[in-house]
Amino acid sequence: MDKKKKENWLSNNSQNHKQARFRFLSTLLQRYFTGSASTKEKQIIDSWDAEASWEKYKEKVNDRKMEKACDEVWNNISVQLRFEEKRKTFRLPTYFQRYAAAAVIFILLGGGILFYTQHSITGHNTDRIAQARTLFQTTNDQIRLVILPDGSRIQMNRGTKFSYATCAFNRKQREVWLEGEAFFEVAKNKEKPFIIHTGTMQTTVRGTSFNVKAYPQLAENVVSVRSGKVEVSNRNQMLAVLTKNKQLTFHSTTKHFQTNDMDWENAAGWMDGKLVLCNANVKELQFRIKQNFNADLTIEGSLLEGVMFNSSFNKGTGLKDILERICALYNVHYEVSGTKIRIHS
């Protein structure tokens, strides 16, 4: 093969690789949008965290930066799906720029992310586009700050999912969804209520700060207010209006709720790295031990049944110190085997 033919062959082969990459990427995203992606593919897309990339490319996404971002996108996919092909830098043909733009917008304009535009890869189904949400997630060892388009600040605790309606947010109202725990500092806007959905419960504000705990594992939603006024309802039935240092606990199984006085700093102590048990039952104790130390706590028989824990542990407090304090308070004992902990009489 002479030099000219070899160059042409290499060029065509490279072009085929480029086309294959973006065909795969567009197909992957289309499967994701239409709900036909595999569990592994969904996990990969849900776990994308492109904020670092966006910081690098946000000033001006020109052709060269678009190429770098697209290459980073491909590398992200290929590594996580264990493709053998290594990362390569390449020039994008003009007619592939729409695929690159869709991919990079999808990856760069959010945080976790689910992002649709009027020209999304699905190319149709406007109902799905209208309902699209931008999704943020934290892992079990991550606390994260999210700043919304209206300027509201959301501090997400570990193991939390937070999303908002991408297209509709901050038009007539500010609607968001939470699964986990977060501290909200909502930008004031009397004309546009800020509504947080946690299961069947809604928390509505117009500008205030408060903590919401809504881990599905705990089967309860807890709203604790630092400032302002917060309206809490369940399926459009008003439950309570909370003000500073007031707290509402809604039990999602029984639909019962109660309000009480509290110190908002305890409810939001996790932001300072504290482990705070505030009227916490055994289930929450087990959940927090797992969340903070990745250890499984079991309790013998009905021991500690009905106990409500109220303790605060400063940042850096070790698991041993926590267990010893609990055992001393309730006259029980514990033993540890690897990541397994057993409390017994």
Residue 313's domain spans which residues?
A: 273-344
Tell me how crowded residue 114 is: count the other CB atoms within 10 A of its CB.
18
For 237-266, give one letter per residue: b (16+ CB within 10 A) or e: eebbebeebbbbbbebeeeebebeebebbb
Mark out the alpha helices in 157-297 (DSSP H runs).
264-267, 282-293
> What angle do the packed helices 3-34 and 39-46 form, to 10 degrees?
90
Res 110: pLDDT: 38
Res 204: pLDDT: 96
Res 23: pLDDT: 54
- Residue in 95, 163, 120, 108 with CA at minimum distance from that of residue 32: 120
Calpha distance 341→313 (Å, rounded): 19
Calpha distance 14→30 (Å, rounded): 24
Token pair 């117009």 is found at 206
Res 108: pLDDT: 43
CATH of the domain at 199: 2.60.120.1440
**Contact between residue 144 and residue 118 where contact means Cβ atoms under 8 Å apart:** no
Q: Give me the number of domains the chain comprises.
A: 3
Same domain, 261 and 281: no
Res 168: pLDDT: 84
Calpha distance 322→67 (Å, rounded): 51
Same domain, 13 and 29: yes
Write out the two tokens for 272. 């300072």
Mark out the alpha helices in the chain (DSSP H runs).
3-34, 39-46, 51-57, 63-80, 97-108, 126-130, 264-267, 282-293, 319-330
- Residue in 218, 223, 278 with CA at minimum distance from that of residue 248: 223
Res 27: pLDDT: 61
Same domain, 261 and 142: yes
| Per-10-residue mean pLDDT, the chain, length 345 | 56 51 58 64 59 49 56 54 43 40 46 33 39 82 91 94 87 93 95 94 94 94 95 93 95 92 89 89 93 93 87 91 92 93 92
DSSP secondary structure code for residue 334 in this structure: E
CATH of the domain at 295: 3.55.50.30
Same domain, 81 and 143: no
Res 120: pLDDT: 34
